[in-house]
Each structure stands twice: as C-alpha cells, then as structure tokens.
Amino acid sequence: MFTQTQVDRFQQLETPFYFYDLNLLQQTLNECYEAAVQYNYHVHYALKANFNTKVLEAMQKVGFGADCVSGNEVKAAIAHGFANSKVVFAGVGKSDKEINAALDADIFCFNCESVQELQVINELAVAKGKTARVAIRINPNVDAHTHHYITTGLEENKFGINTWQLEDVLETLKGSNNLEFIGVHFHVGSQILNMDVFKNLCLRVNELQDWFEEHGFAIKVLNVGGGLGVDYYHPDTNAVCDFKTYFKIFRDFLKVKQGQEVHFELGRALVAQCATLVSRVLYVKNGQKKNFLILDAGMTELIRPMLYQAYHHIQNLSKGEQLTATYDVVGPICESTDCFRTDVQLPESQRGDLIAIRTAGAYGEVMASGYNLRDRVQSVYAE
C-alpha cells in the first residue's frame, strides 16, 4: 500500500523509477534471519536477484553471506562488506579470469557444475599455489513444478552434475591435490510455492550424501540452494514469505549429521516485495476490442512479464482501487511483446496517471537494459 504522501512525492519525480521500501526489506530480512538462526542455518543472499547498493548493505548488516554467479558479483559482494569467508561462487560457466580473481580473494567455496570445471579450478589453483574449496552441484532430478525457464534441477537442464557422472567426479577429486571437497550443492528452481518440492529435495539429498560418505568422502556443508517463491498476486497481504514453514521443512526432513552445516541461497524471497516500478500513462488508446494504457516504462525496466509470462499486480495510484475499465497495459518499446498484462481491470485512466507495477524487487533493476537506446532509470527510497 502507498500513502498519499508517497503518491504526492511520486508526482514530483521523473518516471519511470524503482521505488524501494527499505523498511519492508529490513522486516523481511529480520524474519528470515530469526527463522534460520534457531536451527543454526546459514543464509547466503543471491546477488543475481538484486544488486542495488542499499539492498546489499542491508543484507551484509543482517549477517548473511553472498551467493554469486559471476566474477563481478563476487567483487561487488566483497566491496559491500561481505566477508570473503561467506562468499560462494556458483554458475555453470565460470571463466578463468573469474576463477583466478575468486582464488585471490580466498572465497569460501566454488559450487562446481562439471568434471571439467573441477579440473580447470585445480589447474589454476596449482599455478597460484592455492587450495580451492569446492562443493559439487548435483542435479537431484527433482521437479520444481515451476516455469520451465526457471527449473534447474532436472537432468535435461544445463546446470549441475548428473548422478551418473558422480563416479567421474570422485576420480577427479582424488587426483586434484589443490581442491578441498567440502560438500554438496543443490538448486532445483525458482518461484517454488509447493513446499512438497523442498521435502522431496531433502529426501534426495539424504540419499546422495550417504552415497558420498559410503565412497569415503565426508560432507561438511549441505547447500540446499533457494527457490522459495513469493505472492505476486497479493503483495500487501503477503508481503513477507513464511520463512518459519520453509526452514522447518528442512529441519523435519533433512538428515543433518554431527558437525555438518546447512546453507541456503535465497534471493527473490528476500527482495521481491520491497520494490515497485512506478510509471506514468503516456497515452490512452481506445480500440473496438482493446483499450491500451501506454506507459513510459517497458520491458527495458521489467522484462519478467515478457520473458516468463509472469504476473505482476498493477495499480493506478492516481485513481485508487475502483474498477471501471479493462486495459492492456503496455510499454513504449518497439516490440509487440512489450506488454505487462492484458485485460487488466483498473479505474478509468488518463494521460499522466501514476501506475504501480508491484513486486519488482527481484529481477527488475538487475535485468534492465538500454534497448532502443533507453536511459537507465533512477531508484527512489522510502526509509
């Protein structure tokens, strides 16, 4: 919900912009931390969801680690105060340059996704006289029941190592003197709302960690990834995820042995609801079958609806909540796919009205582009 004072402030600003509610962000982080710490769980924030400076500062202050999927994310995490010992580097295509920089930074762990990657990291570590801590990302073949573009734990996905390759992994680890195997890593997908998915993951992790130990490899870290979804349909009534239920699933079903640590990599669940894309109506275009609201924000500011067919709640801040007309809400980009939603019920709208596209804190600002030579837009904060 937005106060009239906030709406009045928005009227004075150039649109579009990302509006961050830092109070809601802090509330979300606090609830996540409190739910995790009771089980001694370790949370790493997935920078790919949002690397806004104020967001990273809040993550670091609450004590979370950093889950990075590029060399520049590793640099950004360290530059924003995350301890090197809490930085994890994942990703299916790490370059030599990125690996060397992470070795120099002595990060906590590389989450490795292929036998060849293990070999490359070992070779680069030998050249530097260093030892790299590694975890093996395994495809558990657990269906996340989410959009196929954000499912990552099935055998046909490009991520991770399939179970039939694990014998080769062990042989590689045995022959790699500059690798220290510390654990296993899993991530089955994103925007998961069915808690049974996480239960099934736990049961699969239990089987796989037993397999490693039967083959003489002790596991210190069980990294179960992230993927917890958010409520895009009701951003005000469900502004904070049910972290208690989420972590309790792992407490109840994950077999944790003495001395093991359990790590999570949460992104969307921590930041999605804290930001809104605020835009203005440029034109109202009425047709015989369709009415269009043409906004000054488009797929260059929020590409999720076009890329994933994702739903975002849309409000007319200038007219309140009265429903009187149906619109396709579209952007100015020279692409037919530049459409946020079709058949949206809104108050009868006019040029200059402020439009809020909610739950834009995850994969909004970070995926913005300069397509059509568009300006990058500003971020505005409520503290």
DSSP per position, 293-327: EEES--TTT--HHHHH-----EEETTTBT---EEE
Domain count, the chain: 2
pTM, two decimal places: 0.94
The answer to whether residues 267 and 278 belong to one domain is no
- 107-127, pLDDT tens digit by residue? 999 999 999 999 999 999 999
The answer to whether residues 86 and 203 belong to one domain is yes
What is the CATH classification number for the domain harbouring 329? 2.40.37.10
- 292-301, pLDDT tens digit by residue? 999 999 999 9
Of 254, 271, 288, at which residue does a domain stop? Answer: 271
The answer to whether residues 41 and 185 belong to one domain is yes
- What confidence tier does 287 reach under pLDDT thresholds 50, 70, 90? confident
The answer to whether residues 243 and 330 belong to one domain is no
Written as six digits, the tokens of 61 are 């202050």
Q: What is the C-alpha to C-alpha distance for residues 73 and 98, in angstroms, rounded to an integer?
A: 10
The answer to whether residues 62 and 86 belong to one domain is yes
Domain interval for residue 46: 23-271
* Residue position matching structure tokens 């079709």: 342
pLDDT at 383: 65
Of 271, 294, 318, at which residue does a domain stop? Answer: 271
The answer to whether residues 278 and 261 belong to one domain is no
Of 271, 295, 328, at which residue does a domain stop? Answer: 271
Residue type, 353: D
What is the CATH classification number for the domain harbouring 193? 3.20.20.10
- 148-186, pLDDT tens digit by residue? 444 444 455 677 999 999 999 999 999 999 999 999 999
The C-alpha angle with vertex 42 and arms to 37 and 45, in degrees rounded to 5, equals 115
The answer to whether residues 67 and 179 belong to one domain is yes
**Which is it for strands 354-357 and 314-316: parallel, antiparallel or unpaired?**
antiparallel
The answer to whether residues 157 and 216 belong to one domain is yes
Residue 322 has pLDDT above 90, yes or no: no
Mean pLDDT score of the chain:
94
The C-alpha angle with vertex 64 and arms to 59 and 65, in degrees rounded to 5, equals 110
